[in-house]
Amino acid sequence: MHIHEGGSRPTRRANKDYFTGTVWQDPIVEAPEPARLRSSRVSFEPGARTNWHTHPYGQALYIVVGVGRVQSWGGPLREVRAGDVVWFDPGEKHWHGATPTTGMVHIAMQEAKDGKYVDWMEPVSEEQYAALG
C-alpha cells in the first residue's frame, strides 16, 4: 500500500509545448509496473486547452467543475459540464480544454503502453477552438 498525503505532491504548471493558455496539473496516481494507470486533476483557466493528441489505450475525462470543450479530429466541437464523462478511443486524435469565458477542471485517466501515456501533436488553431456552432 502507498498513501500520498494531501499536499505532499506539488501542483505543476503544464508544459507550454503541449498546452495553450494556463493549465495546472495535480497528480493523482502514476501506478508502478506492471500496472499502467495514470490519473491527474487538470485545471484549465478560461481559453486554455491541450494540443491535439492521442493515447495508446484511450482516455477518460470526468468533468469536475466548470464548462469545457472537447473535440475528436474531424468531429464536431462539443461542450461538456460538471458531471459529464468523456471517453476517447485508443489512438483517437482529440483535444480538450476550457471555454473562452469559463474555466474547467477534469480528472484525466489513461494507461501507458511501454511507459508512454500520450503522443502530442500540433496546437489547436483559433479557428478550430472557436468552431462551436
Residue 21 banded pLDDT, cuts 50, 70, 90: very high
What's the pTM? Answer: 0.93
21: CB partners within 8 A, 6+ apart: 44, 45, 46, 47, 48, 49, 97, 98
Percentage of the chain exceeding pLDDT 90: 86
Q: What is the mean pLDDT of the chain?
A: 95
Q: Sign of torsion, CA 114 85 5 21? A: positive
pLDDT at position 6, please?
Answer: 85
Question: What's the pLDDT at 133?
Answer: 57
What is the CATH code of the structural domain delimited by 12-129? 2.60.120.10
pLDDT (tens digit, 9 = 90+) per residue, 63-106? 999 999 999 999 999 999 999 999 999 999 999 999 999 999 99
